[in-house]
Chain A
Amino acid sequence: MTRTSTMDHPSLDGGAALVEVVGVEKTFRRGAEEIHVLAGLDLEVPSGEFLALMGPSGSGKSTLLNLIGGLDRPTRGSVTVGGERIDSMPGRRLAAWRARHVGLVFQFYNLLPVLSAERNVELPLLLTSLTRGERRRHVAAALSVVGLSNRARHTPRTLSGGEQQRVGIARAIVSDPTILLCDEPTGDLDRRSADEILALLQALNAEHGKTIVMVTHDPHASARATRTVHLDKGLLEATPPEESGR
């Protein structure tokens, strides 16, 4: 995996916090009922960090991840990534921003079942101006990083869970995004596959300098992160020393 960006975008590595979440509230409506998921949350993620977000179900971990990735908007507060306020960015611009700067890894892989592994990995590159040959080279590189070069032509249903998640990671890194957002990336995997995925994320962080924010329930997974923060009832808790990472 080359560190050279495949996309023509300005570096967001400003040296200070890459992600700044300030006073963020998020409320969902279910009929007449209002559900307050995040309640005035503040968070900073420095560039190059591997941050684990932990907490019980419903604590707002995935909601926070969605806000950082520009997949959702806060009810109040601001989300700034690489100096850009994304909470108030128009939808079209936000989509382009996601394509340039965010790599997403999902718990259930979310691969398109009708496409082969290499075509799934190629999807983010379809939004760039790369030629077919260039896209093919980038896809091969990404699959090589995750160790799946020999499974490029396989469709997701012929791959194991661990392999599918590696395809998901290859898709997340193929456009060399600024930040990787992983939502329970090992939640659907057995221990051995989970360890492989976590080792891969660790290598992407340590060797390729990727900033990673990972939501997890699993203390074993959070132990791989450089820092762990806990959410409960929409607020960050003080991190217990034994879980604060390496």
Chain B
Amino acid sequence: MRFARLVWANLMRRKLRTGLTMGSIFVAFLLFGILCTIREAFSAGINLAGADRLIVRHRVSLIMLLPRSYAERIAAVPGVDAVVHWTWFNGVYRDDPRNFFGTFPVEPDAFLDMHREYELPEDQANAWRRTRTGAIVGRALADRFGWAIGDRIPLVSPLWPRDGGGAWEFEVVGIFEAAKRQADTSNFFFRHDYFDEARAEGKGQIGWFMVRVDDPDRTAEVAAAIDAEFANSPAETKAEPEGAFAQGFIEQIGSIGTILMAILGAVFFTILLVAGNTMAQAVRERTQEIGVLKALGFTGSRVLWIVLAESCLLAAIGGLAGLAAAWAITVGGSPVPALLPVFYLPGRDLLIGAALVVALGIVAGALPAIAAMRLQVAAALRRNA
């Protein structure tokens, strides 16, 4: 601490240069925070995926349907604890495709039992059981459109026209909250019996099954048994862990993690050069002063630590401010809730960011600090003579 004033004074020697470098580091870590948030938004489903859950879909493609009657046969496979089915409804609200959100017909009891990551008050769950056209909506979705319980919501589905034409009518009977932070509360669930009875075609067909196994260590074995059950049938299945399914779904638009890491890698490499150049200049222009410090009795290692402290302080002010700004932005919620409903900067990434701040400070300051440490006193003083 006794050298803190010296470190700070040296850092503030060239205010413009220091400010610009800090600004660059700030932007880099702001970008880091935002990109980590986006990656988390994309991978929330993977992170949330239960280790004990399987997705069973058509072997050819997710968009191909499976018979609903498979549910009983899947439930009979040894190791299966519960089965629930989902179907992609593709509902459009107010005839505007920009009002996009996930819409799925499900069976209320089986669904609520399977998805404990959603919290729905018991009276609202009972209302859903009682109301044939009832729907439950996530908190984020309700907030987005200002919906409340009792509102009537008309949806049109280009995939599933209603028998006799016209919009599908739903009544909001419940609003669910996220029991876990990664849970997506931007979806709309309604009753499958209403859907199946009123749809014009495809009756008895569903999109995919979600299966809970009684032993998470046996998921691979149970998945193989389910696929074997439907082998050589007109609709063969592909069963896989929920996490792998979510990962595969996301990777349809590319490896988000790899893309983000490539961007961050380029940003940090550039910032390393900027900060390293700043420190190298800072040390080079005070060669004679470092010589004076050594002449006064400062050891090489003490000079090294002073330069490294300066470099780390430079990185810390810019970097931590950038992380704080990213956190402040994300804590306000998603700017595009339809696209990125789960939007927060995980604490894990904040810690990684803080570690990167320290690493940046050390790496950027290492070469100038070593040069300062090795500087010969008499040679440094002669440069001024």
Q: Are A98 and B295 in contact, CB atoms less than 8 angstroms apart?
A: yes
Check: A1 CB closer than 8 A to any chain B CB: no
User: Does A89 make an interface contact (CB < 8 A)?
Assistant: no
Contacts of A126 in B (CB 8 A): 2-3, 6
Main secondary structure of the interface of B (DSSP, over half): helix
> Smallest CB–CB gap between B17 and chain A, Å?
14
Inter-chain contact B296/A124, CB cutoff 8 Å: yes
- A92 adjacent to B296 (CB under 8 Å): no
Q: Does B65 contact A (CB under 8 A)?
A: no
Q: Which of A112-133 contact B (CB under 8 A)?
A: 112-115, 119, 123-124, 126-127, 132
Which residues does chain B contribute within 8 Å of A203, judged by CB atoms?
none
Cβ contact within 8 Å between B296 and A99? yes
Interface residues on A, range: 20 to 34
A115-B297 in contact given A66-B378, A71-B377, A107-B385 (Cβ < 8 Å)? no
Q: Would you call A127 and B295 a contact (CB within 8 A)?
A: no
Interface residue from B5, B13, B378 paired with A119 (Cβ < 8 Å): B5
In the bound complex, CA of A69 to CA of B295 (Å): 8
Query: Are B9 and A71 neighbours in the complex by a CB distance under 8 Å?
Result: no
B298 contacts which chain A residues (CB < 8 A)?
95, 99, 127
Complex contact B6–A104 (CB within 8 A): no
A92 touching B385 by the CB < 8 A rule? no
Contact check, B293 vs A123: say whether CB atoms are below 8 A apart.
yes
For residue A100, CB closer than 8 A to chain B, the reply is: yes
How near does chain A come to B31, taking the closest CB pair, in angstroms? 32
Contact B299 A106, beta carbon cutoff 8 Å: no
Please indicate which of the listed interface residues A62, A100, A110, A113 has the most CB atoms of chain B within 10 Å of its own CB.
Answer: A110
Q: Closest CB-CB distance, B373 to chain A, in whole Å? A: 10
Is B381 positioned at the interface, with any CB of A under 8 Å from its CB?
Answer: yes
Q: Within 8 Å of chain A (Cβ to Cβ): is B192? A: no
Against A, the Cβ 8 Å flags (1 = close, 0 = not) of B254-288 are 00000000000000000000000000000000001
CB contacts (< 8 Å) of A72 on chain B: these are 376-378
Quick check: B297 and A110 within 8 Å, CB to CB? no
Contact at B9–A95, with CB atoms within 8 Å?
Answer: no
Verify B297–A114 contact, CB threshold 8 A. no
Say whether B378 contacts A71, CB under 8 Å: yes
Q: Is the CB of B297 within 8 A of A124?
A: yes
Task: Tell me the complex Cα distance, A72–B381, Å.
Answer: 11
- Within the assembled complex, what's the spacing in Å between the Cα atoms of A18 and B100? 89
Could you tell me the distance between the alpha carbons of A44 and B328 in the complex, rounded to whole angstroms? 70
- Residues on B with C-beta less than 8 A from A115 are 5-6, 9
> Is B12 an interface residue when CB atoms closer than 8 A count as contact?
yes
CB <8 Å contact, A96 and B300:
no
Task: Kindly identify which residue among B2, B3, B10, B294 contacts A95, using a CB–CB cutoff of 8 Å.
Answer: B294
Residues of A within 8 A of B297 (CB): 95-100, 102, 124, 127
Residue A114 contacts which of B9, B292, B377, B378 (CB distance < 8 angstroms)? B9
Residues 217-230 of A, flagged 1 when their CB comes within 8 A of B and 0 if not, give 00000000000000
The answer to whether B296 touches A123, judged by C-beta atoms less than 8 angstroms apart, is: yes
Mark interface residues in A83-107 (1 if CB within 8 Å of B CB, else 0). Answer: 0000000011001111110101011
- Contact of A71 with B295 at beta-carbon distance under 8 Å, contacts A110-B288, A112-B289 already known: yes
14 A-B contact pairs sorted by A residue (CB < 8 Å): A72-B378, A91-B300, A92-B299, A100-B297, A104-B296, A110-B288, A110-B289, A112-B9, A114-B12, A114-B13, A115-B6, A119-B5, A132-B2, A171-B296
Binding site for A on B (CB under 8 A): 2-3, 5-6, 9-10, 12-13, 288-289, 292-302, 376-378, 381, 384-385
The 9 closest A-B pairs by CB, nearest first: A99-B297, A114-B9, A72-B378, A95-B299, A98-B297, A110-B292, A71-B377, A71-B378, A66-B378
Q: A123-B6, A127-B297 are in contact. List 5 more A-B contacts (CB 8 A).
A: A92-B299, A99-B298, A115-B6, A127-B296, A171-B296
